[in-house]
């Protein structure tokens, strides 16, 4: 089962490598994005950013295959974009917790800063809405495990993206 699915376009950074991996008690961090998984430079660089933690850089299909073969493990997945997370969810795989972590602004898009660390476009907001609907109406945001969780859907509505 995927114990924790984090949506974070920065992928691996200190918060993830140190805080979340330990909190989840996962054996590895799975970075899930088809484009990243097919980029040899990113596949080489991402494990270096994880400070010695085991990092697997997979396509969505590879992530689902791994989950199926390791159902007794706590699996920690970082989806680069909300579309990656939604694609995983649409397969029916069980996910215990979904968290919007960070979303750095993407140049050339009409983004709104929903929180101080999460930028989103109207298109992103629709994807987050679908994720929440598939997750019983719930979608949270939490920077680190010791921080409080916040209702990300409320933040989207406040920012006028929904």
Instruction: Check if the beta carbon of residue 12 is closer than 8 Å to that of residue 50.
Output: yes
- How far, in Å, CA of 87 to CA of 36, rounded? 15
Interacting residues of 45 by C-beta distance below 8 A, sequence separation 6+:
none
Q: Under DSSP, is residue 68 helix (H, G, I), strand (E, B) or coil?
A: helix
Catalytic sites, residue numbers: 13
Burial (Cβ within 10 Å: 0-12, 13-18, ≥19) of residue 147:
exposed
DSSP state of 103: B
Element (H, E) at 62: helix 60-69
Q: What's the start-to-end Cα distance of the chain, in Å?
A: 30
């Amino acid at each position: 089962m995927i114990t924790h699915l984090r949506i974070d376009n920065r992928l691996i950074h200190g918060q993830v490598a140190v805080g979340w991996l330990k909190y989840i008690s996962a054996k590895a961090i799975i970075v899930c994005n088809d484009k990243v998984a097919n980029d040899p430079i990113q596949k080489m660089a991402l494990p270096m950013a994880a400070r010695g933690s085991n990092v697997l850089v997979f396509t969505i299909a590879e992530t689902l295959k791994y989950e199926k073969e390791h159902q007794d493990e706590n699996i920690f997945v970082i989806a680069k974009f909300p579309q990656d997370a939604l694609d995983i969810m649409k397969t029916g795989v069980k996910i215990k917790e979904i968290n919007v972590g960070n979303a750095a602004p993407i140049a050339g898009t009409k983004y709104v800063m929903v929180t101080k660390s999460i930028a989103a476009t109207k298109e992103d907001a629709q994807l987050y809405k679908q994720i929440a609907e598939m997750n019983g109406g719930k979608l949270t945001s939490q920077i680190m495990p010791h921080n409080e969780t916040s209702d990300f859907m409320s933040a989207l509505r406040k920012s006028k993206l929904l």
